[in-house]
Structure 1
Amino acid sequence: MRIAICDDIPKELEKILAALDVYKEAHPELCFEIDQYSTALDILHAVEQGKGYDIAFLDICMPGILGTDVAGEMLAQSPDMGIIFLTISNEYAVAAFAMNATHYLLKPFSQAEFDMAMDRAVKKVMDCAFISLSCVDGMYRIRISEIVFIESQGHYLMLRLSSGEVLRMRKKIFQMFEELKKYSEFIQVGASYIANLSFVRKISVDTMKMYNGTNIPIPRRSSGKVQKAYMNFCRNEAMK
C-alpha cells in the first residue's frame, strides 16, 4: 500500500512514522511504501506528476492551504483513497467528514486511536481494490473482495467468484499469490489453493469449508499455520 504523510511540523511527521512502525509490526502481512511531505504544495505537485496513494495522512492546518483542500485534489484523482486528517482542533471536523474522510485524528493521539484509523483506511482500500486478470476468454477487472478462492488445475488457475462465476487463466499459483499476499484476507493453502478468509465458514484440522459449500483440503504440514492465520484474521476483523 502506498501511503503519503503531509505535515509541516517535523516532529509530527516523526510521530506518525513511529506509529506506522508499530502498526506494521502488528500487521506483517501488509506492505507499505511511505512518502513524506512537509508542505501541501509538495504533495500536490507529486500528485500532479502522477503519484498515486492508497492512504494519506493530512494535517488540516498548514501554511497557505488547508488539508481539506489538498484532500479534495487527491480524491479527484483517486476517489477510493483513505484520507486520515490530523489536527489539534475540532474546528474543521464537519468539513473533513463532509468529504467522506476515513478518520479524523486529534493531536496528540494514542497508538490505539492511530490503529483504529489505520484499520478503517486499510479496510476501505481492501474493499475498493481491483485486480486486472488476463483469462483465457479475455481481460477482466474485478474487485479483490469478489474472489472466494483460487484452485490450481494443471497449467491453469480456476478463480471462483462470489457471484458464482468461474474465471480460467494460465498462471502458476505461486505467481498469483505474489499478487494477492499484500491483502490480509488471502492465504495459500497447500500447493493447489488460495483462499479468501472472508468467505470461510468453518475450519478444522484438515478442511476449510467455504460459504459456497466448497471444502478445501488443508495439508497436515500446513494445518497449524492455516488455523493460526484464520484466528488472527478473525481477531483483527472483530477489532475493526
Structure 2
Amino acid sequence: MNLMICDDQKSELENMGQIVSEYALTHSELSLTVKCFLNPFDMLDEMGKSGVPDIVLLDICMPGILGTEVAREILSKREGDTDIIFLTTSPDFAVEAFALHAGDYLTKPYTKQRLTDALDRLIEKRRNRLYIPVSCGKEIHRIDLFNVLYAEAKNHSVEIHLKSRKCLKTHTTLKEFKNIFQTANGFVAVGASYIVNLRCVQSLLETTLEMSNGDRIPVPRRLRGELKKQYFDFYTREATEK
C-alpha cells in the first residue's frame, strides 16, 4: 500500500510523517510506503511517474493552489482509486471536501489517535471493496463497485456512471449487472433501466432520485414507497454499524 503526504508547513509535514511511519511499523502486513511533499506540484509530478497512491494526506490551504483542486486532479487519474484525508486549520472547506467523497476531514490541531483512527477506517474500507472487470469494446477496465454512482440500460448496452464523472459503456446486460451488484450492500434496482448506489443519492424527490453529481433518476410511482424504505433502512444500518 502506498501513501503520500503533502503540507506546505515543514513542521506539520514532519509530524504527519512521524505518525504515519510509526503506524506503518505497527501494521507491517500492509507493506506501507510513505512519501512526503512540501509542494503539491512536486507530488503530482511524482504521481505522473509512479502512479497514484492508495491514500493521500492533503493540506487544503497551500500557496498557489487549494488542496481540493489537487484532489480533483488526483481523482481524475484513475476512477477514484485514491482515498483522500484532508487536514486543515479551517472548517470552511468541509462541504467541498465531502463532495469529493473525502475519506475524512481533520481540523488542526488533531491528535495522533484521531489520524490513526482515520487510517484504520480507510484501510478497512479498502479491504472490503469489491472490484469487477468491465469490458468496453477492446478495453477492459477494473472498477470498484463503490465508485459507481449508477448503471443505466441504454441503446442495447449499459452505461456505468462513476464518481469521477467518467462513463463506461459495455454490452453486458443490466440483468447480468444485477447479479454482480447483489454481492454488494447499498445497491438497488430502480425500474427496469437503472441500478443505483444509495451512498450517492443526494436527495429523494417526489418523482426522481437526485444523485451526488446532479443527475436525476426517474422513479416509477409503484416503487416510490419501497425505495424510500430501502434508503432509510440502508442508512440506519450504516449508522448502527459505525
TM-score scaled by length of structure 1: 0.52
Shift of the alpha carbon at 1:43?
A: 1.4
Shift of the alpha carbon at 1:30?
A: 1.7
Q: Which runs of 5+ in 1 are unaligned?
A: 133-140, 144-162, 165-238
**Corresponding residue for residue 120 of structure 1:** 121
**Corresponding residue for residue 74 of structure 1:** 74
- Checking the alignment, whether the CA contact within 8 Å between 1:82 and 1:122 is kept in structure 2 is no
Q: Hey, what's the Cα distance between the residues in 1 that align with 2:94 and 2:54? A: 22
- Checking the alignment, whether the CA contact within 8 Å between 2:60 and 2:87 is kept in structure 1 is yes
Q: Hey, what's the Cα distance between the residues in 1 that align with 2:26 and 2:96? A: 32
> After the TM superposition, which residues 25-40 of structure 1 pair with which residues of structure 2 at under 5 Å, given as runs?
25-40=25-40
Which one-letter code corresponds to 1:27 in the other structure?
Answer: H
> After the TM superposition, which residues 187-202 of structure 1 pair with which residues of structure 2 at under 5 Å, given as runs?
none
Q: Taking structure 1 as reference, are residues 29 and 50 closer, same or farther at Cα in structure 2, changes over 3 Å only?
A: closer
Which one-letter code corresponds to 2:103 in the other structure?
Answer: T
Q: Hey, what's the Cα distance between the residues in 2 that align with 1:131 and 1:31? A: 24
**Corresponding residue for residue 9 of structure 2:** 9
**Corresponding residue for residue 225 of structure 1:** none
Q: Hey, what's the Cα distance between the residues in 2 that align with 1:27 and 1:131? A: 27
Q: Taking structure 1 as reference, are residues 98 and 18 closer, same or farther at Cα in structure 2, changes over 3 Å only?
A: same
Helix, strand or coil: the match of 2:52? coil
Q: Hey, what's the Cα distance between the residues in 1 that align with 2:41 and 2:117? A: 28
Helix, strand or coil: the match of 1:20? helix
Which one-letter code corresponds to 1:112 in the other structure?
Answer: Q
C-alpha RMSD of matched pairs (Å): 3.3
> After the TM superposition, which residues 83-94 of structure 1 pair with which residues of structure 2 at under 5 Å, given as runs?
83-94=84-95
Q: Hey, what's the Cα distance between the residues in 1 that align with 2:114 and 2:19? A: 10
Q: Hey, what's the Cα distance between the residues in 2 that align with 1:2 and 1:103? A: 17
Q: Hey, what's the Cα distance between the residues in 2 that align with 1:103 and 1:129? A: 21
Which one-letter code corresponds to 1:4 in the other structure?
Answer: M
Which one-letter code corresponds to 1:83 in the other structure?
Answer: I
| 1:1-23: CA deviation from partner (whole Å, max 9, x where unpaired) | 01010111111111111111332
Which one-letter code corresponds to 1:32 in the other structure?
Answer: L
Helix, strand or coil: the match of 2:91? coil
Shift of the alpha carbon at 1:50?
A: 4.9
| 1:33-79: CA deviation from partner (whole Å, max 9, x where unpaired) | 11111111111222233522000011000100000000001011131
Q: Taking structure 1 as reference, are residues 96 and 27 closer, same or farther at Cα in structure 2, changes over 3 Å only?
A: same
Q: Taking structure 1 as reference, are residues 16 and 131 closer, same or farther at Cα in structure 2, changes over 3 Å only?
A: farther
Q: Hey, what's the Cα distance between the residues in 2 that align with 1:119 and 1:92? A: 23
Q: Hey, what's the Cα distance between the residues in 1 that align with 2:76 and 2:129? A: 16
Q: Taking structure 1 as reference, are residues 131 and 52 closer, same or farther at Cα in structure 2, changes over 3 Å only?
A: farther
Q: Taking structure 1 as reference, are residues 124 and 76 closer, same or farther at Cα in structure 2, changes over 3 Å only?
A: farther
Q: Which runs of 5+ in 2 are unaligned?
A: 134-141, 145-181, 184-240
Q: Taking structure 1 as reference, are residues 7 and 129 closer, same or farther at Cα in structure 2, changes over 3 Å only?
A: farther
Query: 1:42 and 2:42 equivalent?
Result: yes
Moved more, 8-17 or 24-33: 24-33
Helix, strand or coil: the match of 2:128? helix
Q: Hey, what's the Cα distance between the residues in 2 that align with 1:20 and 1:58? A: 13
Q: Taking structure 1 as reference, are residues 54 and 4 closer, same or farther at Cα in structure 2, changes over 3 Å only?
A: same
Helix, strand or coil: the match of 1:97? helix
Shift of the alpha carbon at 1:83?
A: 0.3
Helix, strand or coil: the match of 1:108? coil
Query: 1:18 and 2:15 equivalent?
Result: no
Q: Hey, what's the Cα distance between the residues in 1 that align with 2:76 and 2:106? A: 22
Quick one: percent identity of the two aligned structures? 40
Helix, strand or coil: the match of 2:87? strand
